[in-house]
């Protein structure tokens, strides 16, 4: 067995999906060894190692040869790709005793290489992060393992993650997840995301459940559920759905702060929330996750908004880049030849387009913008096959029916972000701070942002259905894409 690690690719994916996570080379090699039941005779990891000096001991501990690569494009992506492809073919052609090859990457560019290896009779194993792995690459391999699912042989604690070495009791984790969200009715997708932040090893399938909804239904003795015909399930501690829509939309009254970490002055809102509050059996956590060393009340409004958006998976992307990415995404879905695309396939093609045509646009900006579109109800996912266990990334995807141009797609995304803020702030959205985040403080855009905030607030004030977004489209969360 020979293993080739596209380290920069896997590192970017891990940074994007996990919290405070180092790439665990040992776990990767252990999993590859279990798959093949053979001896790994060659391990190479490719990167600009001047950037990743802190991984020197990891390489030594795992007897891995570091291969220095340099950028051939602005993004520094193809330097490693080309070198890996050349080295892989050189090894298999020179060493006939190498019967298995492992590629650690999610990059679709390796698909032709994998197919060629299989032509030569080699068994190919792939490893990548689920949400950033090309569907084409995964299908091309004889076996593909997702980094998300890897566990060490000794099940030891993951470095730099304050979580237990084994999964937390699922009932206790469910209680902590609801407590962290304020013990109020919340979308199921938001609850699952929070539970995975508390315990990244959480996986409902370990307990025999085929979906998160099935997991929730199995705990009906301690929670209430509301599942609309379309859209996300709403979850609350037992007896807490009686408060209706108002209870669902009110942010948690925690230490005098609202859901965005801003001081609340609306005493009436606090009273309404307290009226439906029931701390048992979901007692608040002793300490909620902290993502900044600056107290929220010492931050500016713009800093608080940016922090809240970041912690809710909306990473900042400069407006010019974001608009360009969205326009290319619109063109992809507007092409009649792409009517069978999944979102994962569309994202792969988006990365490829920018690599070939606009290499100056960072990989992270493309990925984050796709997440923006997903979180803001811009996509429709075909569920006609009846396979409830199928991941949204892999379902046939199209744009929502009310989107007829790239400009409308941009507007829908931005309105969706404003709605997210409205839900957390109960209508008190700072237009100036939002303009800073969306348009880098462009004064000419302020009036547009102000009118958008007013429009969204009026729409939500009229009572949009729980679990549905603006215009009645379903609320979904990107973390559900990873199962």
Q: What would the pLDDT profile of 165-183 be if each residue is shown by its tens digit? A: 345 688 888 988 898 888 8
Question: What pLDDT does 448 receive?
Answer: 95
**CB within 8 Å of 85: residues ≥ 6 apart:** 110, 113
* Residue 226 reports pLDDT greater than 90: no
Could you say which DSSP state residue 333 is in?
H
Could you say which DSSP state residue 234 is in?
E
Q: Would you say 480 and 446 are in contact if contact means Cβ atoms under 8 Å apart?
A: no
- Of 48-52, 163-167, 213-217, the one with minimum mean pLDDT is 163-167
pLDDT tens digit string along 354-368?
A: 888 887 788 888 988
Confidence of residue 244 (pLDDT cuts 50, 70, 90): very low
Alpha-carbon 98 to chain mean position: 36
N- to C-terminal Cα separation, the chain: 30
Give span(s): CATH 3.40.50.1010, the chain. 2-149
Q: Which two tokens stand for residue 166?
A: 């084994």
Highest mean pLDDT out of 339-348, 376-385, 417-426, 445-454: 445-454
Give span(s): CATH 1.20.120.1790, the chain. 319-482
User: Within the chain, what is the greatest distance between any pair of CA atoms?
Assistant: 76
Sign for the pseudo-dihedral over CA of 29, 30, 36, 41: positive
More confident residue, 246 or 174: 174
pLDDT tens digit string along 368-404?
A: 899 999 999 999 999 887 777 778 878 899 999 999 9
- Of 121-125, 157-161, 375-379, 454-458, the one with minimum mean pLDDT is 157-161
Between helix 363-375 and helix 319-334 the angle, nearest 10°, is 70
Class of 2-149 in CATH:
alpha beta
Can you tell me the distance from the alpha carbon of 130 to that of 192, in angstroms, rounded to the nearest whole number?
17
* Residue 15 reports pLDDT greater than 60: yes
Task: Determine what percent of the chain is predicted with pLDDT higher than 90.
Answer: 29
The pairing of strands 186-187 and 223-226 is unpaired
Q: Based on C-alpha coordinates, what's the Rg of the chain?
A: 23
Can you tell me the distance from the alpha carbon of 395 to that of 244, in angstroms, rounded to the nearest whole number?
32
* Concatenated DSSP letters of 107-122: -GGGHHHHHHHHHTT-
- Sort 316 into a burial class: Cβ within 10 Å, 0-12 / 13-18 / 19+: middle
Q: Would you say 32 and 126 are in contact if contact means Cβ atoms under 8 Å apart?
A: no
Closest of 181, 297, 200 to residue 247, by C-alpha: 181
pLDDT tens digit string along 272-316?
A: 333 333 333 333 333 333 333 344 445 677 778 887 888 787 888
Looking at the domain 319-482, which fold is it? Answer: 1.20.120
* Concatenated DSSP letters of 174-229: HHHHHHHTTSS-EEHHHHHHHHHHH-TT--GGGGT-SSHHHHHHTTTTTEEEE--S
Select the CATH number that applies to the domain covering 170-289 from these four: 3.30.420.610, 3.40.50.150, 3.40.640.10, 3.40.50.620.
3.30.420.610
More confident residue, 49 or 385: 49
């Amino acid at each position: 067995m020979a293993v080739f690690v596209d380290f920069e690719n896997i590192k970017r994916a891990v940074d994007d999906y996990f919290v405070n996570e180092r790439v665990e080379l040992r776990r990767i090699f252990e999993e590859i060894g279990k798959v093949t039941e053979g001896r790994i005779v060659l391990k190479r990891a490719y990167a600009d190692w001047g950037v990743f000096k802190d991984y020197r001991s990891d390489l030594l501990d795992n007897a891995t040869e570091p291969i220095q690569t340099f950028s051939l494009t602005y993004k520094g992506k193809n330097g490693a790709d080309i070198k890996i492809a050349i080295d892989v073919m050189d090894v298999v052609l020179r060493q006939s005793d190498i019967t298995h090859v492992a590629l650690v990457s999610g990059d679709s560019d390796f698909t032709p290489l994998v197919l060629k290896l299989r032509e030569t009779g080699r068994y190919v194993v792939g490893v990548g992060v689920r949400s950033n792995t090309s569907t084409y690459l995964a299908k091309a391999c004889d076996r593909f393992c997702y980094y998300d699912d890897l566990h060490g042989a000794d099940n030891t604690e993951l470095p730099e993650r304050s979580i237990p070495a084994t999964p937390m009791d699922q009932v206790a984790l469910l209680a902590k997840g609801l407590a962290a969200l304020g013990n109020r009715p919340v979308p199921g997708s938001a609850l699952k995301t929070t539970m995975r932040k508390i315990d990244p090893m959480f996986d409902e399938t370990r307990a025999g459940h085929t979906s998160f909804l099935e997991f929730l239904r199995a705990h009906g003795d301690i929670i209430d559920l509301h599942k609309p015909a379309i859209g996300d399930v709403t979850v609350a501690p037992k007896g807490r759905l009686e408060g209706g829509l108002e209870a669902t939309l009110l942010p948690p009254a925690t230490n005098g702060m609202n859901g965005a970490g801003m001081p609340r002055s609306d005493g009436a809102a606090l009273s309404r929330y307290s009226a439906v509050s029931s701390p048992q059996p979901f007692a608040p956590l002793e300490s909620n996750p902290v993502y900044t060393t600056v107290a929220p009340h010492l931050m500016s409004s713009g800093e608080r908004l940016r922090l809240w958006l970041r912690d809710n998976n909306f990473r900042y992307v400069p407006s010019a880049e974001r608009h360009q990415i969205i326009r290319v995404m619109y063109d992809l879905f507007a092409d009649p030849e792409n009517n069978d695309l999944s979102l994962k396939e569309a994202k792969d093609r988006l990365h490829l387009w920018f690599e070939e045509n606009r290499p100056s646009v960072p990989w992270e900006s493309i990925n984050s913008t796709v997440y923006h579109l997903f979180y803001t109800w811009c996509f429709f996912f075909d569920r006609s096959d009846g396979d409830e266990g199928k991941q949204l990334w892999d379902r046939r995807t199209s744009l929502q029916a009310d989107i007829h141009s790239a400009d409308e797609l941009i507007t829908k995304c931005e309105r969706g972000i404003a709605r997210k803020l409205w839900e957390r702030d109960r209508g008190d959205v700072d237009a100036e701070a939002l303009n800073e985040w969306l348009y880098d403080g462009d004064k000419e855009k302020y009036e547009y942002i102000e009118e958008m905030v007013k429009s969204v607030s009026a729409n939500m004030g009229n009572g949009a259905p729980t679990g549905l977004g603006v215009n009645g489209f379903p609320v979904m969360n990107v973390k559900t894409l990873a199962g």
